[in-house]
Amino acid sequence: MDLVLEPLGYPIFIRALVAAILVGTVCAVVGTYVVLRGLAFIGDAIGHAAFPGVVVAFMLNAPFYLGAAIAAVGTALSIGFVTRRTTLRADTTIGVLFAGTFALGIFLFSAIEGYVADLFSFLVGNILFISFSNLIGLLILGGVVLAAVAVLWKELLYSTFDPLGAAASGLPVGRLEYVLLTLVALTIVVSVQAVGIVLVVAMLVTPPAAAQLLTVRFGRLMGLAVVFGVAGAVIGLYLSYWLDVASGASIVLVVTTIFLAVLAFNPRGGLLRPRGQQQRRATAE
């Protein structure tokens, strides 16, 4: 019990705990749409694209999240624009922008004199480094994202499930797609310091993926994803603290473990359930 309560005496840990809950929640909520739309690759690309923004913000002594937000949102909107305006396959365009922006980040990073531990922590995540002022900025950004979903959840849902039907009945499906890409970008900005640019896509995708194995209802899926995301982030934070390892790695390993456990044992036909049950489910569908 002390192991759990003892760290709570440190303000740095309390800040990290608040950040973990924020990241777990926002990633799961936005990630639910990401998973249902098959945007995982775009999420990964936007995560990497945030890096040059972080480096430039560091060089200018500005808050990292401002630089990250400009770079990530800019890339997200460019992806949306380019894939609509060219005949190139979306994954091709994304691959080009993804590598190019990340290369720019690495280029700037390596041009800075000396070893920059602060910046390195953005690559692999160090949730215990989050300063008070950054945390306030992230809470505001995360609040904006959650508010946007609270306003647009049903329009995003309809245009995800049936974009043609939604557009024909008057929903601005194209604009909603840009809004969603922007929300993905902001979610990544909220999360990069905690889980790191390299791993941030896992927080978007893994909790909703685990939830999708357990329910056929959209609302429950999002709720379960939040539970998994928050649990993963908080347990991962403790592991990071106890074992002194990169928080991004420990958080992602916990959500991955949750996913694998659900995959193996879930009552709706886990891989390790007796075969008879799986077959019964198959014939019921």
Binding site for another protein (CB under 8 A): 36, 87, 150-152, 154-155, 157-158, 161-162, 164-171, 212, 215-218, 221, 284-285
Return the number of the residue (89 or 154) whose C-beta is nearest another protein.
Answer: 154
| N-to-C CA span, the chain | 45
The rounded distance, in Å, linking the Cα atoms of 207 and 202 is 8
Return the number of the residue (244 or 285) whose C-beta is nearest another protein.
Answer: 285
CB of 212 to another protein, least distance (A): 6
Return the number of the residue (61 or 87) whose C-beta is nearest another protein.
Answer: 87
CB of 284 to another protein, least distance (A): 7
SS3 38: coil
CB of 220 to another protein, least distance (A): 8
Return the number of the residue (85 or 110) whose C-beta is nearest another protein.
Answer: 85
CB of 157 to another protein, least distance (A): 7
Q: Whose structure tokens read 């739309």?
A: 37
Return the number of the residue (86 or 131) whose C-beta is nearest another protein.
Answer: 86
Residues 127 and 247: beta-carbon distance below 8 Å: yes
